Every structure is written in C-alpha cells, then in structure tokens.
Amino acid sequence: MARHHQFRAKVIAVSDSVALANAAADRIVARIAANGGRVAICLAGGSSPKQLYGLLATAAWRKRIPWHRVHWFIGDERFVAAGDPLNNMSMARRTVLDACAPSANIHPITTDSPDPDAAAGRYERELQAFYGSQELDALRPLFDVVLLGVGPDGHTASLFPGRPAIEETERWVVGVDMAPVEPLVPRVTLTLPALASCREMLFEAAGAEKRAILARVLGGENLPANRAHSIGETVWLADQAALPEDFNGQ
Ligand code: 6PG
C-alpha cells in the first residue's frame, strides 16, 4: 500500500538526556495540573524513560504530583513474568511508582495469562472499565499523556513495521507473537487508536543511537512511530545527539 507520509508532530530540541528528562517531567506535570479530576498517564517501556521516572521520584518533582488522583498505565509489555528485569511496568514500579503511587492507581499489563492475546483482552477490559465505555470519544481522551519511545526499526510501543498489530483499528490492545527486535519475546501492545486517545503524545529520543531512525522519522517515512499521533498534541523531545546534523527546527 503506497501511502504518502509526512512528519506532522512538533519537535522540541534539548541539549542532553538530563534536559530531556526535565522537559518531559515538566510537560507531564503541566498536563496533570490542567486536569483537576482523575488523570491517566500511559507510560513507555524500554530504556529511554528511565531517567524521567527516576526524576519524578525525587523530592522536588514528587511533591508537584497529586499522586492520589493520577493513574498509571503502560503502552506495551514484554510477555515475561512481572519480576523479570525485562518487564516494562516493573521498571516503572522500581524507579518511581512503588515509592510514590497508591498501588490501586498502578495498572500493569498482567502476564500470567496463558498467552499474549488473553493478556491483551484483559487489559482492554481494564482500560474500558476505567474509561467507562467501549467506544473512544474524541471529546474525552482516554489518557492525559501517552509517553512513547522509538526503536531502531521505527517501532513504537510494540507496533512493529509490517506486522498486523499496526493496522488494528478496532481493538484497544492486542497480542504480538514475537518481536522482531530485542528483546525477542512476545508482547502485548496498545493499538494506534488507543494510543491516539490522549491530550498529549510525548516521544523521547536521546543519544546518538537514535539519530539514524530519527532522521527517517523526521523525513516522513511510513513507520509506526510516524503513524502514532495524538488526537490532541504530538510532541517529540529529542536531544542534540539524536537530532540529525542538519536539523534546524520545525
Ligand atoms: C519496549 C518499548 C519500545 C521502546 C523502544 C525504544 O517495550 O521495548 O515500549 O517501544 O520504547 O523500543 O527502546 P529504548 O528506549 O530501550 O531505546
């Protein structure tokens, strides 16, 4: 299917990974402050958000978050036990959530189901119960913030190029038999429509190892990371090492 793609998000360039974590924390806190009611944040896995999570747990940031009214979800999970070092939500729990968030506000994708599809079905029902409907309403986004990263092949969450999950338009969460990049384990992932239902989608890209893929994303290539868009605002936070040399703002 030939489809013309274009990079349509806003890019915010920062100096390094420390500045990037600070900028992400600032945006998350601003989105929480803008919503006086129950807040839902969808976290990312992988290594990119670790610095941000650690930052949110520090005294200065921790006190800026009304933890009792913020709920924490995860955009994708590796189909490994909760205690496995590869488990995305376990990383978020260790770095910030267990110390700061009420446990009832932490919503992991459970991986003790027989297979990734069963786990996906369970998480979809949990999201729909939280949202109060099985239909997403553009006037009432599911999440305040969806945090994402980008992989070397342009995947985001566990939506890999050329795989069926990226084409899903009905389901909110699906199982992925096997990831084509490390770690080579099955996954459970939110789909494009579920991820899109947010006030802000925030990508983090830091370090020289992201430069090649960021150049392709900014060039508008048809990649999952370019097809993930918020119905609200979509922002890419990128540091100098990740940005192509010729990048001079959007
Ligand atoms: C995962 C992630 C995945 C990740 C990218 C970037 O479970 O692996 O959710 O989409 O964000 O692969 O990974 P790094 O941050 O480790 O580079």
| Chunked mean pLDDT (size 10), the chain, 250 residues | 69 96 98 97 95 98 98 97 94 97 98 94 98 97 98 97 96 94 94 98 97 96 96 97 81
Q: 145 with 42: CB under 8 angstroms?
A: yes
Q: What is the predicted pLDDT for the residue at 245?
A: 84
Please work out whether the CB of residue 56 comes within 6 Å of at least one atom of ligand 1.
no
Q: Which protein residue's CA is at the shortest distance from atom 11 of ligand 1? A: 149
Q: Which of 82, 59, 64, 77 is nearest to 28 (CA)?
A: 64
| For the CA of 48, the nearest atom of ligand 1 | 15
Please work out whether the CB of residue 156 comes within 6 Å of at least one atom of ligand 1.
yes
Please work out whether the CB of residue 47 comes within 6 Å of at least one atom of ligand 1.
yes
Contacts of 20 (CB under 8 A, 6+ apart): 14, 51, 52, 204, 206, 237, 238, 239
Q: Which protein residue's CA is at the shortest distance from atom 5 of ligand 1? A: 151
Beta bridge partners of 118: none
Please work out whether the CB of residue 45 comes within 6 Å of at least one atom of ligand 1.
yes
DSSP one-letter code for 208: G
Whole-angstrom CA distances from 115 to 90, 124, 185 are 19, 14, 12
Please work out whether the CB of residue 44 comes within 6 Å of at least one atom of ligand 1.
yes
State yes or no: cis peptide before 183, omega within 30 of 0.
yes
As a whole number of angstroms, the distance between CA 160 and CA 174 comes to 12
Q: What is the predicted pLDDT for the residue at 247?
A: 79
Six token digits for residue 21: 């974590």
Distance 236 CA to ligand 1 centre (A): 15
Q: 75 with 190: CB under 8 angstroms?
A: yes
As a whole number of angstroms, the distance between CA 197 and CA 231 comes to 6
Of how many residues is the chain composed? 250
| For the CA of 49, the nearest atom of ligand 1 | 15
Residue bearing tokens 């958000």:
49
Q: What is the predicted pLDDT for the residue at 249?
A: 63
**What's the count of helices (H) and strands (E) in the chain, helices before strands?**
9, 9
Residue among 20, 47, 78 whose CB has most ligand 1 atoms within 8 A, to mutate: 47
Q: Which protein residue's CA is at the shortest distance from atom 13 of ligand 1? A: 46
Distance 70 CA to ligand 1 centre (A): 23
SS3 at position 56: helix
Q: What is the predicted pLDDT for the residue at 250?
A: 54
Six token digits for residue 158: 């566990």
SS3 assignment for 105-154? HECCCCCCCCCHHHHHHHHHHHHHHHHCCCCCECCECCEEEEEECCCCCC
Please work out whether the CB of residue 76 comes within 6 Å of at least one atom of ligand 1.
yes
